[in-house]
Amino acid sequence: MFAVENEPAAAASREAEASEPSIDMLRERIAALSATLKSLAPSVERDRRVPMASIEALREARYFDIVKPKAFGGLERDFSMLVDLNVDLAKWCASTAWVAGLLAAHQWLVGSFPLQAQRDVWEADPDALICGSYAPACQAQPADGGYRISGRWSFASGCDCAQWSLCAAMLPADGERDKPAPAFLLVPASNYAIDDTWHVVGLAGTGSKTLVLDDVFVPAHRVLLFSETTSGQTPGAALYLHHPGFSIPMLSTIPSCLASVAVGAAQGALEDYLERTARRITRGAVAGAQNRMAEFATIQLRVAEATASAQAARRGLLADLCEREATVARGERVSVEERIRSRLGQAFAVSLAIRATEALNASTGGQGLDLSHPVQRAWRDANAVGRHISMNWDTVGTMYGQMALGLEPKGQY
């Protein structure tokens, strides 16, 4: 936080801290939205976007303040708190959790930029939200005081709800770099158009559409190199030395938020499955009519498998993130080995979540074929999370195996 210059300001700061919600309070606020978010899940999927009413409800609950810098009105909590709460949110609507989790996580990422970029975003609009597209879509062109970019940025989840975007691009080699380098460039929504390209079978409600930019100028202070954020050595980390969480590498944090969606979807599917199956009576001639589904051993085993998988996924995901938080709290840098272990844990948590939803969805019978069936939706959503490049088990698993076997790891870490 910026230095407090006088006692009245210090007193106000202490009062604000005393009134800040605890994780239990935040969990209660999110739980209070559960019935509404669950009832909206079918329309969110059908409309292919999260409604602003849901975003506003989460804003009022201070969801988007969890990891935002206190200097700009945030709560500045540990990232593990956001991931834990996002698992709960995903139980009721995975698409809403994917969008809300990213919009909240990007508050932390903007906090990694130079101070002037943070002021650009939040001083004019303290409630500004930021979407993003991480794949470098173009070669940025040097311009006086910054860069100019043009192109199409895909998979910008929640772009309909955001006022800014993080657009990845390649910066050309210069006096400081001997080769092109990827970076995030912060761009206001007034500088891009949205092309509705999102028509999918999983996470359909995330509105992950395409941003179109045409010769947009981005000042140099709104640029953050990938090498800075993936190492945790960012301008924001140097600015917020009082909160070591800003020095955790990005790929140990934000992909955990994405993985939490699959984990939460699996837990939500399990809860719905238990509620429906406990009272379900068979009607089919093969299985025999008027038998309780709950009494079938195969059903009991599927419940056990889904429960164990979902619980292990949540515990492992949070344990990895807490370990990274403990490292920086000791004043140490997160090593490459730790970063790759984070990536392994994230991808494996998603694999476990997919396993849980597979176990449940396979035994929902003909009723489960209906697109509105919540277990089926969770199955599709969890599998969609697994398609994300950061969660692809083959890619991440081989990267970890390379490191463990003494080879040069190849991948994102």
Predicted pLDDT of residue 289: 66
H or E element, residue 388 = none
The Cα–Cα gap between 124 and 119 comes to: 8
Domains of the chain: 7-122 (1.10.540.10), 130-229 (2.40.110.10), 250-404 (1.20.140.10)
Judged by average pLDDT, the poorest of 276-290, 373-387, 391-405 is 276-290
Q: Is pLDDT above 50 for 5?
A: no
Q: What is the mean pLDDT of residues 220-229?
A: 97
Q: What is the mean pLDDT of residues 165-186?
A: 93
Q: Which residues of 353-367 are buried (b: 16+ CB within 10 A; e: fewer)?
A: bbbbbbbbbebbeee
Predicted pLDDT of residue 2: 35
Predicted pLDDT of residue 9: 41
Predicted pLDDT of residue 101: 98
Between residues 285 and 354, the one the model is more confident about: 354
**C-alpha 300: how far from its chain's center?**
32
Predicted pLDDT of residue 365: 77
Residue 32 is which amino acid? A
Judged by average pLDDT, the poorest of 17-21, 160-164, 248-252 is 17-21
Q: Is pLDDT above 50 for 14?
A: no
Q: What is the pLDDT of residues 311-364, one digit of tens each?
A: 999 999 999 999 999 999 999 999 999 999 999 999 999 999 999 999 999 888
Q: Is pLDDT above 70 for 60?
A: yes
Q: Is pLDDT above 70 for 11?
A: no
Confidence bin at 290 (pLDDT 50/70/90)? confident
Q: What is the pLDDT of residues 72-126, one digit of tens each?
A: 999 999 999 999 999 999 999 999 999 999 999 999 999 999 999 999 999 999 9
Between residues 8 and 225, the one the model is more confident about: 225
- The radius of gyration of the chain from alpha carbons, rounded to an integer in Å, stands at 22
Phi, then psi, of 224 in degrees rounded to 5: -130, 120
